[in-house]
Amino acid sequence: MTDWVRVCTTAELLPGESTVAWDGDTAILVVNFEGDYHAMEDRCSHEDFELSAGRFNGADATIECVLHGAKFDVRDGAALCAPAYEPVPKFPVKVEDGVVWTRDDR
């Protein structure tokens, strides 16, 4: 299993905001939804395209892929509409001393 990767401080990722961290070759999208941090692979399960290019909707915890409009729930990675049917892999997040950490634990 890989080591934890530092994402940012909690002050740098406010509610409704997102950022991308890298664990080796894996891009990880990290979002702050109402003060809870969630991490998922920064790759649409329908078409290999970065989800971070889309808009994170802080009102309903979704991110939409700009390529074909697939939406995902950032809390569990679930695909919410076509053309995506497979979830996006989720990753653990921890906050220690005001710093957000994640890792690709596959």
Q: Decide if 85 is inside a domain.
A: yes
Q: Is residue 61 part of a domain?
A: yes
pLDDT, tens digit, 9 for 90 and up, residues 29-74: 999 999 999 999 999 999 999 999 998 998 899 999 999 999 999 9
Residue 75 structural domain: 5-94
Residue 49 lies in a domain: yes
| φ, ψ (nearest 5 deg) of residue 64 | -110, 130
Per-residue pLDDT of 1-20, as tens digits, reads 579 999 999 999 999 999 99
Number of domains in the chain: 1
In a domain, 47, yes or no: yes
Indicate the Cα dihedral angle 26, 31, 37, 41, nearest 10°: -20
Domain assignment present for residue 16? The answer is yes
Is residue 88 situated within a structural domain?
yes
The model's pTM: 0.95
Task: Report if residue 56 sits inside a domain.
Answer: yes
54: domain CATH number?
2.102.10.10
Q: Which residues pair with 40 in a beta bridge?
A: 29, 90
Handedness of CA 49, 72, 78, 13 (dihedral sign): positive
**33, 39 in Cβ contact below 8 A?**
no
Residue 106 lies in a domain: no
